[in-house]
Amino acid sequence: MKKHKRAKQPQVAFYNNPENRAIIYQLIALVLIFLVTYFVINNMFINIEKRGINTGFDFLGSEAGFGILQSLIEYDESDTHGKVFIVGLLNTILVSVIGIIFATIIGLLVGIGRLSKNFMVSKLSMIYVETFRNIPILLQILFWYNVVLASLPSPKQSITFFDSIFFNNRGLYIPRPILESGFTAVIIAFIIALISVIYLSKWASKKHDETGKEFPTFWVSLGILISAPLFVFLVSGSPATLEIAELKGFNFRGGWTLIPELLALAFALSIYTATYIAEAVRAGIEAVPKGQKEAASALGLKDHIILKKVILPQALRVIIPPVINQYLNLVKNSSLATAIGYPELVTIFSGTSLNQVGQAIEIILMTMAVYLTLSILISILMNYINSRMQIKER
Amino acid sequence: MATYEKVETRPAPLGTKGIIYWAKENLFSSILSSILTIISFYLMYVTIPPLLDWMIFDATWSGTKEEITKEGARWIFIFEKFNQFIYGFYPEELYWRPNLALFIFVVYVIIFKKINNVKMKAFILISFPIITFTLVSGGLGLEHVETEKWGGLLLTIIVASVGIIASFPIGILFALGRQSNMPIIKTLSVIYIEFIRGVPLITLLFMSSVILPLFFPEGMDFDKLLRALIGITLFQAAYIAEVVRGGLQAIPRGQYEAADALGLTYWKAMGLIILPQALKISIPNIVGSFISLFKDTTLILIIGLFDILAMVTLTNSDTDWLGFETEGYVFVTMIYWLICFSMSKYAKSIEDKFNTDHK
């Protein structure tokens, strides 16, 4: 008869111990990464030397020598590549901000529209989302630019609104406000109004907590914010005038010009991103359980209070993260401007500057660093919002 | 003693059926709703009839360029350039090769569902890329066709499918790496994924087309298409990794523990227990990611490859056929829309199949 031996503590070979194994695997991974990096960088230096490419960031101080279609700051051909970088970055930010504002507005409307009880509204919203979401963004940009905007009339036959806004194949011309010295008072009035509104809302919410009475904070704040600066503006004798674009020769002069590249890009980005925002809004509202709404109506709350105090706070928690993600996508997609020549970061810095200087590595790494910084900033923001929006469970 | 009065019965509701009741409920339930309905109908009235006129009733469907008299779309341009839109500059007498590859693909898809033998499935998965590559590129006695000649929808599909197939295993590895207990592996995976997801695809394509050749010793020349494929695969792998990670996180802890308790090794536990479940629940998101990639393949035109979108500009530079951009863009739009829409409907149907929630 066999004797049952008591199980001994198993003798594990050194290389079979999971902890040791983990260390070995990681060391191997590190060594491999190191070897690959060494191989790559070594080759890179050899190749750079052979091709006679400069290294370092000195090129940022050298003269660019090319003009830029549109710039938010003073720029001319004798400026440096460093300034080209700044101009491009500002143009990226410009188109992103315009795109984000319009995408949010359209997305919100369409997202709510898809849940509408109105048959036509919900179906049209659905058609909008399904159409534009399934067409590549680059194709949309090219279409608006090459087909729609190119078929607009010439400056002489501009489409005109209110005798002051002109729309033609050279772009959109809008009046530009010219601020005079007295305008500072208006700005100060606005800041004072803003501060008083903040205090007002604090007071109102305190009053609500204590007495349960609602104060129409939103409308009162809006009134203060608009009326105070307007009052100062009128009293100080309207210290601003509008400069309207005028047709001189073959083109318009003066006013603000939105070039067709900017229009096509901003339009396509807004339309495309809005479809994703609409889906996020819809998913967020649908994610609130039906019982929440029913419970709120059972308590006798009015419809708009239910929306404001019960549905939206819960829906926003689901809506905000994907929407911020879409903002980030919009910023990244703005780099497609290079296909139509809108002068943003990738077009003029990774495009024109790179062709002139030839220092691909530095330039592309700088461009990537810009977008990486933006994504890191946005993900920090997102984590902050997420932690604020979490349900505080007791 | 309480007295009760008889209350008159309320009139029976008007019918709850029929088109008038439906319209009242769904189109004119309130003033706002009625206004919106009227605006919607007006919008449709303004857009749809002119669009239909342009696309169908006023369109030129046949004849030659000189005979065009109508105002609408001139589809004869698409018919004339159809082969270029689909095959690019691929030699005309060799069109049968990509066609055959497509046919084999369809046959494989049909028989793939029917067979249960794992080895057969593996054979199909491995043999398909080889067969396709040989057919399209040449070799084994077939005439060689350089990648510069690949173009149109053919190139779009090649880039998309290589991106999808090659990124999948890499993406899974990075997803596992990010979930790993080993700090160095985890950090490396996180850095890779977040770096790629943080930059636009176009900068990655620039990097792979301009910087990548500098990384290798001289004489090791990469084909332009191969460089684009590397960029797209690296890009897509990071997105797949995040999608698969979502699936991995959804698997209950007990599954991991049960696999460990059975004494399975890491790879067996992952391959037999965890991944099959994780991949199954992430299928809708994986398909979604494939749709994004399919749309993103258009970006290769910026680095000088001629996919179907680039063909619009290219066919319009033919001096005999100038000014047909609109028809070209509309045609390409319809192709992309059809493919993307059917893929997303497919993803939705799978999602609904797995969705066992009560709504």
Rounded to the nearest integer, the mean pLDDT of chain A is 84
In terms of CA atoms, which chain B residue is nearest residue A19?
B182
Per-residue pLDDT at A5? 59
Q: What is the C-alpha separation between B49 and B115, in angstroms, rounded? A: 49
Q: Hey, how many other C-beta atoms are within 10 angstroms of the C-beta on A16?
A: 10
Question: pTM for the full model?
Answer: 0.85
Residue carrying the six token digits 């033919």: B318
* For residues A123-139, average pLDDT: 93
Of A130, A136, A147, the CB nearest to B295: A136
Q: Is the pLDDT of residue B278 over 50?
A: yes
Lowest pLDDT segment from A335-339, A350-354, B197-201: A350-354
Contact (CB, 8 A) for A259 and A273:
no
Q: What is the C-alpha separation between A318 and A117, in angstroms, rounded? A: 22
Q: Which residues of A touch B312 (CB under 8 A)?
A: 142
Task: Tell if the CB–CB gap between B337 and A22 is shorter than 8 Å.
Answer: no
Q: What is the C-alpha separation between B287 and B289, in angstroms, rounded? A: 5
Q: Which residues of A touch B348 (CB under 8 A)?
A: none
* Structure tokens given for A129: 């989302």
Q: Closest Cα to residue A95, out of A264, A266, A257, A343?
A: A266
Task: Tell if the CB–CB gap between B36 and A142 is shorter than 8 Å.
Answer: no
Q: Quote the minimal CA–CA distance from B341 to chain A in Å.
A: 6
Segments making up each domain of chain A, as ranges: 14-51, 81-175+244-389, 176-243
B242 near A CB under 8 A = no
Q: How confident is the model at residue A394 (pLDDT cuts 50, 70, 90)?
A: low
Q: Is the pLDDT of residue A391 over 70?
A: no
A291 near B CB under 8 A = no
Question: H-type helices in chain B, by residue range?
Answer: 18-26, 31-52, 76-87, 96-114, 118-137, 152-178, 183-198, 201-206, 224-250, 253-261, 266-268, 275-296, 308-316, 325-354
Task: Tell if the CB–CB gap between A118 and B27 is shorter than 8 Å.
Answer: yes
Between A373 and B318, name the one with better pLDDT: A373
* For residues A105-125, average pLDDT: 90
Of B185, B215, B301, the CB nearest to A40: B215
Q: What is the C-alpha separation between B327 and B72, in angstroms, rounded? A: 10
B200 near A CB under 8 A = yes
Task: Tell if the CB–CB gap between A135 and B299 is shorter than 8 Å.
Answer: no
Q: Is the pLDDT of residue A1 over 60?
A: no
Q: How confident is the model at residue A9 (pLDDT cuts 50, 70, 90)?
A: low
Task: Tell if the CB–CB gap between A142 and B309 is shorter than 8 Å.
Answer: yes
Q: Which residues of A touch B217 (CB under 8 A)?
A: 43, 46
Q: What is the C-alpha separation between B122 and B120, in angstroms, rounded? A: 5
Q: Quote the minimal CA–CA distance from A249 to chain B in Å.
A: 28
Q: How confident is the model at residue B359 (pLDDT cuts 50, 70, 90)?
A: very low
Task: Tell if the CB–CB gap between A139 and B309 is shorter than 8 Å.
Answer: yes
B197 near A CB under 8 A = yes
* CATH code of the region A81-175+244-389: 1.10.3720.10
Per-residue pLDDT at A2? 54
Interface test with B, best of A27, A130, A143 (most B CBs within 10 A): A143
Architecture, CATH, for domain B76-90+145-353: Orthogonal Bundle (1.10)
Between A177 and A112, name the one with better pLDDT: A112
Give the β-pairing of A240-243 and A176-179: antiparallel
Q: Is the pLDDT of residue A187 over 70?
A: yes
Task: Tell if the CB–CB gap between B202 and A118 is shorter than 8 Å.
Answer: no
B264 near A CB under 8 A = no
Of A48, A134, A367, the CB nearest to B336: A134
ipTM: 0.86
